[in-house]
Amino acid sequence: MSKVIHCMQKVEKWGIFEIALEGKGDGNPFTDYEIKAEFTGENEKKTVDGFYDGNGIYKVRFMPSFEGIYKFRIYGTYAKEDGCEGTFEVEPVSEGNHGPVRVANTCHFAYEDGTPYYSIGTTCYVWTLQSEELQEQTLQTLKESAFNKIRFCVFPKHYDYNFNEPYSYPYEGTPVDSSGLTRNNFMEYNGCPDGNHWDYTKFNPKHFEHLEKRIRDLMDLGIEADIIVMHPYDRWGFSLMSKEEDDLYWKYLVARCSAFRNVWWSLANEYDLMPQKSIADWERYASILCEKDVYGHLRSIHNCKKIYDFTRPWVTHCSVQRIDPYLSGELVTKWRERYQKPVVLDEIVYEGNIELNWGNIPGEEMNRRFWEGAVRGGYPGHGETYLSEDQILWWSHGGVLKGTSPRRFQFLLKILKETPGLGLKETQLNPYTEDLMATVDSLIPVPYYLFYYGFRCPAFKEYYFDDEKEYEVEVLDTWEMTVTKCGTFRGKFKVQLPAKQYIAVRIYEKGLI
Amino acid sequence: MSKVIHCMQKVEKWGIFEIALEGKGDGNPFTDYEIKAEFTGENEKKTVDGFYDGNGIYKVRFMPSFEGIYKFRIYGTYAKEDGCEGTFEVEPVSEGNHGPVRVANTCHFAYEDGTPYYSIGTTCYVWTLQSEELQEQTLQTLKESAFNKIRFCVFPKHYDYNFNEPYSYPYEGTPVDSSGLTRNNFMEYNGCPDGNHWDYTKFNPKHFEHLEKRIRDLMDLGIEADIIVMHPYDRWGFSLMSKEEDDLYWKYLVARCSAFRNVWWSLANEYDLMPQKSIADWERYASILCEKDVYGHLRSIHNCKKIYDFTRPWVTHCSVQRIDPYLSGELVTKWRERYQKPVVLDEIVYEGNIELNWGNIPGEEMNRRFWEGAVRGGYPGHGETYLSEDQILWWSHGGVLKGTSPRRFQFLLKILKETPGLGLKETQLNPYTEDLMATVDSLIPVPYYLFYYGFRCPAFKEYYFDDEKEYEVEVLDTWEMTVTKCGTFRGKFKVQLPAKQYIAVRIYEKGLI
Residues A71-97 pLDDT 10s? 999 999 999 888 799 999 999 999 999
Among A369, A389, A455, most B C-beta atoms within 10 A, so best to mutate, is: A455
The structural domains of chain A, ordered by start, are 3-91 (2.60.40.10), 116-174+193-404 (3.20.20.80), 427-509 (2.60.40.3950)
pLDDT value of position B322: 93
Chain A contact set for B455 (CB, 8 A): 361-362, 365
pLDDT value of position B193: 85
Q: Do A459 and B387 touch (CB under 8 A)?
A: yes
Chain B contact set for A462 (CB, 8 A): 355
Closest residue in chain A to residue B385, using alpha carbons only: A458
Chain B contact set for A460 (CB, 8 A): 355
pLDDT value of position A83: 77
For the question of an ipTM over 0.90, the answer is yes
Residue-level pLDDT, tens digit, chain B, 513 residues: 467 677 777 899 999 999 999 999 999 999 999 999 999 999 999 999 999 999 999 999 999 999 999 999 999 999 988 879 999 999 999 999 999 999 999 999 999 999 999 999 999 999 999 999 999 999 999 999 999 999 999 999 999 999 999 999 999 999 999 999 998 899 899 988 889 999 999 999 999 999 999 999 999 999 999 999 999 999 999 999 999 999 999 999 999 999 999 999 999 999 999 999 999 999 999 999 999 999 999 999 999 999 999 999 999 999 999 999 999 999 999 999 999 999 999 999 999 999 999 999 999 999 999 999 999 999 999 999 999 999 999 999 999 999 999 999 999 999 999 999 999 999 988 877 889 999 999 989 999 999 999 999 999 999 999 999 999 999 999 999 999 999 999 999 999 999 999 999 999 999 998
Closest residue in chain B to residue A385, using alpha carbons only: B458
Q: How far apart are CA B377 and CA B356, in angstroms?
A: 29
Q: How far apart are CA A274 and CA A240, in angstroms?
A: 9
DSSP character for A399? Answer: -
Nearest to B326 among A326, A356, A458 (CB): A326
Interface of B with A in 427-456 (CB under 8 A): 433-436, 453, 455-456
DSSP character for A199? Answer: E
Among B185, B331, B455, most A C-beta atoms within 10 A, so best to mutate, is: B455
Q: Do B456 and A360 touch (CB under 8 A)?
A: yes
Under DSSP, is residue B487 helix (H, G, I), strand (E, B) or coil?
A: strand
State how beta strands B171-174 and B197-203 pair.
antiparallel
Chain A contact set for B356 (CB, 8 A): 433
Q: Do B327 and A326 touch (CB under 8 A)?
A: yes
Closest residue in chain A to residue B496, using alpha carbons only: A355
Chain B contact set for A436 (CB, 8 A): 325
Q: How far apart are CA A416 and CA A102, in angstroms?
A: 17
Q: Do A457 and B327 touch (CB under 8 A)?
A: no
Cα→Cα distances A189→A110, A242, A392, Å: 42, 19, 21
A160 close contact with B: CB closer than 8 A: no
Q: What is the tally of helices (H) and strands (E) in chain A?
A: 9, 32
> DSSP characters for B254-287?
HHHHTT-TTEEEEEESSGGG-TTS-HHHHHHHHH
Q: Do B434 and A330 touch (CB under 8 A)?
A: no
Chain B contact set for A365 (CB, 8 A): 455
Nearest to B434 among A357, A365, A500 (CB): A357
Identify which of B285, B131, B278 has the alpha carbon closest to the alpha carbon of residue B210.
B131
A96 close contact with B: CB closer than 8 A: no
B326 close contact with A: CB closer than 8 A: yes
Q: Do B455 and A365 touch (CB under 8 A)?
A: yes
Q: Do B354 and A325 touch (CB under 8 A)?
A: no
Under DSSP, is residue A485 helix (H, G, I), strand (E, B) or coil?
A: strand
Query: How far apart are the CA of A430 and the nearest CA of chain B, in angstroms?
Result: 12
Which helix or strand (DSSP H or E) is residue A333 part of? helix A332-339
Nearest to A355 among B356, B455, B458 (CB): B458
* Cβ atoms < 10 Å from Cβ of A119: 26
Nearest to A361 among B362, B387, B457 (CB): B457
Q: How far apart are CA B333 and CA B339, in angstroms?
A: 10
Which residues 6+ apart lie within 8 Å of A162 measured at CB? A125, A126, A233, A396
Nearest to A361 among B356, B456, B459 (CB): B456
Q: How many CB pairs under 8 A join A and B?
A: 80
Separation of CA B343 from chain center: 12
A389 close contact with B: CB closer than 8 A: no
pLDDT value of position A10: 79
Opening angle at CA A285, ends A283 and A286, nearest 5: 60
Intra-chain end-to-end CA distance of chain A, in Å: 61
Phi, psi (rounded to 5 degrees) for B314? -75, -20
* Cβ atoms < 10 Å from Cβ of B176: 16
Residues A24-51 pLDDT 10s? 999 999 999 999 999 999 999 999 999 9
Residues A98-114 pLDDT 10s? 999 999 999 999 999 99
Nearest to B362 among A362, A436, A501 (CB): A501
pLDDT value of position B1: 47
Q: Do B433 and A356 touch (CB under 8 A)?
A: yes
Nearest to A362 among B361, B387, B457 (CB): B457
Closest residue in chain A to residue B453, using alpha carbons only: A357
Among B330, B360, B364, B463, most A C-beta atoms within 10 A, so best to mutate, is: B360
pLDDT value of position A191: 84
Cα→Cα distances A271→A36, A340, B321, Å: 31, 22, 39
Nearest to A455 among B330, B362, B500 (CB): B362
pLDDT value of position A429: 82
Segments in B179-313 forming alpha helices (H) = 205-220, 243-257, 279-292
B468 close contact with A: CB closer than 8 A: no
pLDDT value of position A74: 96
What does pTM read for this prediction?
A: 0.96
The residues that bridge with B494 in the sheet, in sequence order, are B462
Nearest to A360 among B325, B326, B458 (CB): B458
Chain A contact set for B461 (CB, 8 A): 355
pLDDT value of position A2: 60
Chain B contact set for A455 (CB, 8 A): 361-362, 365
Q: How far apart are CA A417 and CA A146, in angstroms?
A: 12
Query: How far apart are the CA of A112 and the nearest CA of chain B, in angstroms?
Result: 37
Q: Do A434 and B357 touch (CB under 8 A)?
A: yes
pLDDT value of position B2: 61
**Side-chain-facing half-sphere of B415: CA atoms under 13 Å:** 32
Query: How far apart are the CA of A484 and the nearest CA of chain B, in angstroms?
Result: 19
Nearest to A457 among B361, B453, B499 (CB): B361
Q: How far apart are CA B127 and CA B225, in angstroms?
A: 12
The pLDDT confidence band at residue A1, using thresholds 50, 70 and 90, is: very low
* CB neighbour class for A419 (10 Å; exposed up to 12, middle 13-18, buried from 19): buried
Q: Do B355 and A459 touch (CB under 8 A)?
A: yes
Chain A contact set for B270 (CB, 8 A): none
Closest residue in chain A to residue B435, using alpha carbons only: A357
Chain A contact set for B434 (CB, 8 A): 325, 357-358
pLDDT higher than 90, residue A507: yes
Is the separation of the CB atoms in A76 and A394 below 8 Å?
no
Closest residue in chain A to residue B387, using alpha carbons only: A459
How confident is the prediction for chain A on average, in pLDDT?
96
pLDDT value of position A359: 97
Closest residue in chain B to residue A459, using alpha carbons only: B353
Residues A319-329 pLDDT 10s? 999 999 999 99
Average pLDDT over residues A181-199: 91
Dihedral sign for Cα A118, A120, A125, A130, please. negative
Q: How far apart are CA B231 and CA B274, in angstroms?
A: 7
Chain B contact set for A499 (CB, 8 A): 353, 360
Is the separation of the CB atoms in A465 and A401 below 8 Å?
no
